A = this chain, B = another copy of it.
Amino acid sequence: MFDDLSSRAEEHSSQSTRDRIWRVIFLSDTKSGKAFDILLLWIIGMSVFVVMLESVPTIQEHHRRLFVRLEWVFTILFTIEYIIRIWVVRNKKAYIFSFFGVVDLLSLIPTYLTLIIAGPQYLLVVRVLRLLRVFRILKMARHIGEANLLINAFRASFTKITVFLFLVLAVTLILGTMMYIVEGVIANNPGFSSIPQSVYWGIVTISTVGYGDVTPITVAGKVISTIIILIGYGTIAVPTGIVTAELNMNMAKIRPDKRICRECGHQGHDTKARYCKMCGTEL
């Protein structure tokens, strides 16, 4: 996500103005680059905060004008930034259709749309995705290793967790239908007026969220609830177990000793290894 753009840093050794601006805006390996990124993050954070405040009725009544102005200030700033980004980057197409390119554009459109129709200003909250750039600054710091660890463990767990969620949803669907028959059809409980409604209740229950907006009123319904709760209680362990086991694997891999084989240069030996596992040379 970040690398395709930043890896081109080396090519730009001859520093034209455009290249220097590119370095400041797209990278954070220089002092001014880091300062730009931190400033940008603050402005993005403030603009998201303004969108959130604007939605509060009591605040909006008294400060409507201020908010409209602030929104335009942020939008114009971000528009200028977006234009400069397109100007300085070499592969313009790659940037525009990259994840951050799309997010950058989506962060501008809603304000311009308010000129035509009312309402879409709340879509500006998509700007929070721009804050993900914070990870680019962190890249320079020690956090990147840990972020990678998380991402790797998550990716490795993904199919397992999906398989698991599918099974949980199948169980929820069947028990939800039973609840629809027992509570909705027989006892006329308004919270179980249809199967989708009962499945909503089932997911709220099996995940242990338990709003309480829909609750069983019959004895049979309470028995089925107890079963679905016990299933949820026993199975919430599964995704946790999956992620933990993956993290355990990854952490064990990352922290091994740093010996390098003198013959083949292989690194990443088992701590107990005496000989290189790639070429057989004594370590």
Contact = CB atoms under 8 A, between A and B. Distances in A.
Interface of A: 48, 51-53, 55-57, 119, 122-123, 125-126, 128-129, 131-132, 134-135, 138, 142-143, 146-147, 149-150, 153-154, 157, 159-161, 163-166, 170, 173-174, 177, 180-181, 184-185, 193-197, 199-200, 203-205, 207-213, 215, 219, 222, 225-226, 229-230, 232-234, 236-249, 251, 255, 266, 268-270, 272-282
A264 to B, nearest CB: 9
Q: Which of A161, A185, A209, A275 has the most CB of B within 10 A?
A: A209
Number of copies: 4
A210 to B, nearest CB: 4
A62 to B, nearest CB: 14
16 contacts: A55-B194, A56-B195, A150-B160, A161-B234, A165-B234, A203-B229, A203-B230, A207-B232, A208-B209, A208-B210, A237-B239, A240-B241, A244-B247, A245-B248, A268-B272, A275-B280
B277 A230 contact: no
Contacts of A122: 177, 180-181, 185, 195
A274 B269 contact: no
B238 A150 contact: yes
B159 A128 contact: no
Contacts of A126: 174
Contacts of A142: 159
A55 B180 contact: yes
Nearest to A240: B237
A193 B219 CA distance: 13
Closest 8 CB pairs of A and B: A209-B210, A241-B243, A273-B277, A275-B280, A212-B212, A211-B212, A241-B244, A237-B240
Contact of A159 (B57, B146, B219, B270): B146
A128 B279 contact: no
Contact of A207 (B160, B199, B208): B208
